Copies of this chain bind each other. A is one copy, B any other.
Amino acid sequence: MARTLTLIEAVNEALLQEMERDERVFLLGEDIGGSGGVFKATAGLLDKFGQDRVLDTPLAEGAIIAVAIGSSLVGWRPVAEIQFADFITPAMDQIIQQASKLRYRSAGGFSCHLTIRVCCGGGGGSGLYHSQENAMWFAHEPGLKVVMPSTAYDAKGLLLSAIRDPDPVIFFEHKRLYRTAKGEVPEGDYTVPIGPAAVRREGRDLTILTYGSLTQPSIDAAGQLAQKGVEAEVVEIRTLAPIDKETILNSVRKTSKVLIVHEDKRTMGFGAELAAIVSEEAFEDLDGPIVRVTGPDVPAIPFAPPLDKAWNVDTGAIVATAEKLAAY
C-alpha cells in the first residue's frame, strides 16, 4: 500500500522501519531526540526507541562522526545527522581521513558501515550558513558514497539502501524539498539502489542532467519546453558518487545536447564532473556545447530577499537556456 508522503515523512519512516527491523541501527546527532530535529526528520523516534537508540550528542560534529565510525567497527549501524551541510566542515577530518580511507588503508581489515544524513541547500531565506550544499567535496573522495534524493519515494528507498550499505554513505536531504516534494511511498520495505540515475522524463532533443532541488524545476521546464516543441529528457543524478555514467551517456547519445542544472556554485560544482564525463565519453554524439545553469560563484546564499532570489535558479532560466541550446 502506498500513501502520499512528503520527503521528510519518507525519511522519518525509513529511519523508523529500519530501526525496527535491525537492532544494530541507532541515530546520533544534535537535537535529533528531544526536539525531533530542526525540521522534524527524527520526530517521534526518541519516544519510540529511547535514548539508547536516539542520541542527542554534544555540539561537536567531529565527535558525532567519530562515534559513528568507531561504533560501526564493533557491529553497530549508526546513522549520524549533521544538522546543516554548512556545519559539516568541523567533521572533515573524520570523514575524509578516517571514514573514507579506513577500509582502504587496512585493506579491508576494518570498514565503516555508517550513514551520515545531512540537511543541505537553500530554502528561501536560509542565509549564508543554512543554505550550503557542500556535496561535491565528498564526490571527490573514493571510499565514500554520496546520495541526494529529490522524491519521497527515493528518499525512503535510498535511505534504506544507505543504512544497509557496508560503506560510508553521505545522504543529503535538501531542505527545500522536505515539505514540497510529495509522492506515493509504499508502506513496506523496499530499496532504491545506490548508483543508478533516474530518467525522469524522456525526450529526444536535449538532456537535462540535474539533481536535488532543481530536479522538479527541470521537469517543469521540460513540460514548458514541450509546448514549444522541444522534447527534453530529464536525468536525475540521485547518486553523486559513484556516478552512473551509463544512464547519462545513453541519454546523451540519444539527444546529442546537454544542459546541466544545479543550485550549487558553478565553478568546481558537481556539474563540472558531469560535463567532463560527457565531453570525454560522448563527444562524437554532441551537437552543441555542454551548458551549465547553476548558482553563481558567490560564497553562499545571502539572506536579504532580493539577494536570495538573485541566486535562485528557476524554471524560467532553465527553459530559456534549454531553448537556446535546442536551437543551436
Contacts and interface: CB of A to CB of B under 8 A. Distances in A.
A182 interface: no
A206 to B, nearest CB: 14
A310 interface: no
A299 B100 CA distance: 7
Interface stretch (A47-55, A152-160, A265-273): A265-273
A89 B86 contact: no
Interface in A132-157: 136-137, 139-143
A143 B267 CA distance: 12
A39 interface: no
Given A92-B92, A241-B267, A299-B142, A283 B276 contact: no
A276 B271 contact: yes
A298 B142 contact: yes
Interface residues of A, number: 52
A276 B297 CA distance: 15
A89 B93 contact: yes
Contacts of A288: 283
A305 interface: no
Interface in A112-138: 128-129, 136-137
A58 interface: no
A181 interface: no
A212 B248 CA distance: 31
A246 to B, nearest CB: 15
Nearest to A291: B280
A96 interface: yes
A90 B65 CA distance: 13
A289 B299 contact: no
Interface string A249-274: 00000000000100001011111111
A217 B285 CA distance: 32
Interface string A277-298: 0111101101011111000011
A139 B267 contact: yes
7 contacts: A89-B96, A139-B268, A140-B267, A140-B269, A142-B297, A241-B268, A271-B276
Interface of A: 86, 89-90, 92-93, 96-97, 100-101, 104-105, 128-129, 136-137, 139-143, 241-243, 260, 265, 267-276, 278-281, 283-284, 286, 288-292, 297-300, 302
